[in-house]
Structure 1
Amino acid sequence: MLPKLLLIEDNPSISKIQRHVALRIGYHVDVADSLAAAIDLIEVNDYFCAVVDYVLPDAPGGEAIPLTIGASIPTIVMTGKLDDKTRDTVMRYPVVDYITKESRQAYLYLETQLKRLPRNEDVRVLIVDDSKNTRNYIKNLLLRHKYLIAQASDGEMALEQLEKFDDIKVIITDNEMPNMNGTALTSKIREKFNSEDKVIIGISGTDDNRVSANFLKNGADDYLRKPFYPEEFYCRVSQNLDMQENIATIRRQANSDYLTGLPNRRYFFEQASNLLKRQKFAHQVAMLDIDHFKAVNDNYGHDAGDLVLKEVSRLFDTMFGKEHLIARLGGEEFAVLFKDEQHENNQRLLDQFRDTVSQLEINHQQETLKVTISIGAIVQDTQNIDELLKPADIYLYQAKEQGRNRLIIGS
């Protein structure tokens, strides 16, 4: 279901731009050109967030802001006024942000905020501070932006929270705390997690510049001195999360096959080596190959071949990708390394996959394409992935030699 956005704006040209931005992101948009119209819409709709003009014909002093805030709607204020009095009036309310309508950049910034709000619902932030008032203040700032919250009163409790919540992506930690201070906590976290896994933002009320340096040297990504402006706080959190997500995207692209989206050969070998070292039991691996794939390309064209690869990969990911290590090794060849010792169950799953592929009907232009797949598998106690794949490849070759569309399990 699309999130609902309420635009309160009396200028048709501006509301048109705002609506275009929101629709492009994926919001369902309602537009109110007055306070009265906004009241009517709020009475019959639940809104994910609102973008509110400061000056309206029937609300010239920002009266629409307490309307949406009072209805528990996260609110972004857009205003053409730049004076301090307007800013102070806006910031008396727990708004998500305020944006001045002074340039094209304002609408790019609005787009950034509207994109991030839905994503924030999956981001947990750990607040670490021995002051309950400070924790509550930061918590309330973060809740405006729909973040999930975890809290700790010192470094030792923070480490317990990290064990409890595996979805913590940001740690905001004070330095001056009992038991374990912020810089020691930062160093401890970095023993296990890098910046791609957890963002750490240090905070402190001290005037000692060495504190910020110590935080950064111990692995923090950023630092804020208390008291800080809410706008600066939000920008620092958002920018660090954006950087974390950009790095994750680059990593995902480096580890994924460009055509199918499956993990690629490089990722498979890297993860398989780590898995075999951690899990001390006999593992099962399977090599899978689409039968007569060259004939598909020759007879129907490479776009048909690509479609076959995508459809088989989609099924492959659905049946194996959630629990086991899979990859497209190259061309029409795939591999799966099972992460458990349920060898008989895994063999049945492999044969079920083979049978399901044989029943696939792939529509391409005016043709219905059908393919089969051959599988070779082996169970062996080794920490070397090559020692698993080589015999599995031999049994795959035997499956091809014996008529294709079959599974051969080696011993």
Structure 2
Amino acid sequence: MNKILIVEDSKFFSSIVKHKIENELGLSVIVVDTMKAAKLTLDVRRDDFFIALLDLTLPDASGTDIVKTVKSYGLPCIVFSSVFSEELHHELNELSVVDYIIKDNPSSFDYLVSLVNRFHNNKNINVVIAEDSKIQRQMAAHFLKRFNLNVIEAENGEEAFKIVEEANKSKTSKIELVITDYEMPKKNGFDLIVSLRKKWNPNELGIIGFSAADDKRLPAKFLKSGADDFVHKPIQPEEFISRISHNLNNLEQINKLHIAATRDYMTGMYNRRFFFKAAISAYEKAYKDKAQLLVSMIDVDFFKKVNDTHGHHVGDEVLIKVAKVLETEAREQDLIARFGGEEFCLFSVGMNAEVVGNYLNHIRQKISELEFDGSGGKFKITASLGATVKKFDCLDDMINEADERLYDAKEGGRNKVVLSR
């Protein structure tokens, strides 16, 4: 269910849209040029599509006929047309289309592709609506669900905060956007925003305020309290969705920048810079609390030989698969980073010293079980691990100790763990 259906009789327009979507988004596009062809396609392949892009003027259909037909299959629709009227706008809104785009300039193509991308990504995004009016809450939820978002409703600010707090303990159910009314029982919109901002900054959680109150200063009050945007009620669907899109796009862009700054581009692991930023403060706290500490340096054996024999593309695959083993087999609370080349570092707090040896040997064994396709057929690799649970005055000294034990592992024949206690 990862394809897009385009119903458009203009080959010029459909070819441009198809090309941009497939090249910029990596999504598959199927194009048909009549309502009859659309029906035949959906009769056989409805489950292949997650959205349809529809022209309103077709050889065998006019007006909103094609919209009603495609909607009858339960498929969300984006409409594009060269004409516009208030009557048509109202009718499309009644049909709950995702959006309506005028084919009047080249920027329409970019907006359409951006809209498709936003709709596709929204299926993984959770939004909380805090509103004490059931009618207003359900209306806002309807617009958001139309936009493919997962919506959780809250009757007041106190309930909304608890939902966000509980959900954000898990990576899979994380809340990315909160939409809150101003006047609510138990905790009003301002108090909710202040509470949320104490725990999550604007790079982590988007907040949009909305209200029907006739106070021109209200938007500024919301923004100064920590909201990212404000919408007046009654909600206008196009404005509401546009602001939602804008804020979610900003969050995604910030997240991409954060990943670029903290992650290794090849393996996706944390990079050396982030490792020290996160580990130093954790080390100081653990040292003060007298908690057990572990640092291990992990190095792929004979990695240069892998590159020289099988090529750098195979060497890259080795690093990616080793990184995957480290992230899969290590404890969730442990910090692992690629230090550079074929070298990785693991930092752990609170692990029982008696199980450290078995823990590291398990990781070493999992790496030795990896298999790769090389120039002369299948081959395997090994890794050496140097580690220490000795406490030093600073993290750098502990890393240096682990590095020296890694040297001992290499000198001792490789594919082994050398641990100092």
**Which residue of the partner structure matches residue 23 of structure 1?**
22
Q: Which amino acid aligns with 1:34?
A: T
CA separation of 1:131/1:381 partners in 2, compared to 1, >3 Å: closer, same or farther?
A: farther
Q: Which amino acid aligns with 1:7?
A: I
CA separation of 1:302/1:67 partners in 2, compared to 1, >3 Å: closer, same or farther?
A: closer
Tell me how far apart the structure 2 counterparts of residues 68 and 50 of structure 1 sit (CA, whole Å).
8
Identical pairs, percent: 36
The one-character-per-residue Cα deviations of 1:321-378 (angstroms, maximum 9, x if unpaired) are 8563111123332111235525555533422433454565555556877654221122
CA displacement at 1:382 relative to structure 2: 7.6
**Which residue of the partner structure matches residue 254 of structure 2?**
247
The one-character-per-residue Cα deviations of 1:105-153 (angstroms, maximum 9, x if unpaired) are 1111111121122211110110011111111001000111111111111
Unmatched 5+ residue regions in structure 1? Answer: none
The one-character-per-residue Cα deviations of 1:44-83 (angstroms, maximum 9, x if unpaired) are 3223111111122232122111222232211101111033
CA displacement at 1:210 relative to structure 2: 1.8
CA displacement at 1:192 relative to structure 2: 0.3
Q: How many residues align?
A: 410
Q: Which amino acid aligns with 1:23?
A: E
The one-character-per-residue Cα deviations of 1:249-287 (angstroms, maximum 9, x if unpaired) are 111111122343321112112222344466653132211
The one-character-per-residue Cα deviations of 1:302-338 (angstroms, maximum 9, x if unpaired) are 7776565445334434433856311112333211123
Matches within 5 A, 1:201-220: 201-220=208-227
**Which residue of the partner structure matches residue 110 of structure 2?**
108
CA RMSD of aligned residues (A): 2.8
Greater mean alpha carbon deviation, residues 64-73 or residues 219-228: 64-73
CA separation of 1:302/1:139 partners in 2, compared to 1, >3 Å: closer, same or farther?
A: closer
**Which residue of the partner structure matches residue 126 of structure 1?**
128
SS at match of 2:153: strand
**Which residue of the partner structure matches residue 404 of structure 1?**
414
CA displacement at 1:162 relative to structure 2: 1.0
Matches within 5 A, 1:10-409: 10-24=9-23, 25-44=25-44, 45-46=46-47, 47-166=49-168, 167-276=174-283, 281-293=291-303, 308-320=318-330, 324-338=334-348, 341=351, 343=353, 346-358=356-368, 360=370, 362-363=372-373, 371-380=381-390, 384-409=394-419
Matched-pair contact (CA < 8 Å) for 1:273–1:383 = no
Tell me how far apart the structure 1 counterparts of residues 201 and 137 of structure 2 sit (CA, whole Å).
24
CA separation of 1:128/1:361 partners in 2, compared to 1, >3 Å: closer, same or farther?
A: closer
The one-character-per-residue Cα deviations of 1:189-216 (angstroms, maximum 9, x if unpaired) are 0000001111000111123122111111
Query: TM-score scaled to structure 2, two decimals?
Result: 0.87
Tell me how far apart the structure 2 counterparts of residues 48 and 344 of structure 1 sit (CA, whole Å).
52
CA separation of 1:285/1:111 partners in 2, compared to 1, >3 Å: closer, same or farther?
A: same
Tell me how far apart the structure 2 counterparts of residues 119 and 367 of structure 1 sit (CA, whole Å).
40
CA displacement at 1:30 relative to structure 2: 3.3
Tell me how far apart the structure 1 counterparts of residues 5 and 236 of structure 2 sit (CA, whole Å).
27
Tell me how far apart the structure 2 counterparts of residues 152 and 394 of structure 1 sit (CA, whole Å).
56
Greater mean alpha carbon deviation, residues 62-71 or residues 13-22: 13-22
Unmatched 5+ residue regions in structure 2? Answer: 169-173
CA separation of 1:14/1:331 partners in 2, compared to 1, >3 Å: closer, same or farther?
A: closer
Q: Which amino acid aligns with 1:31?
A: V
Matched-pair contact (CA < 8 Å) for 1:7–1:31 = yes
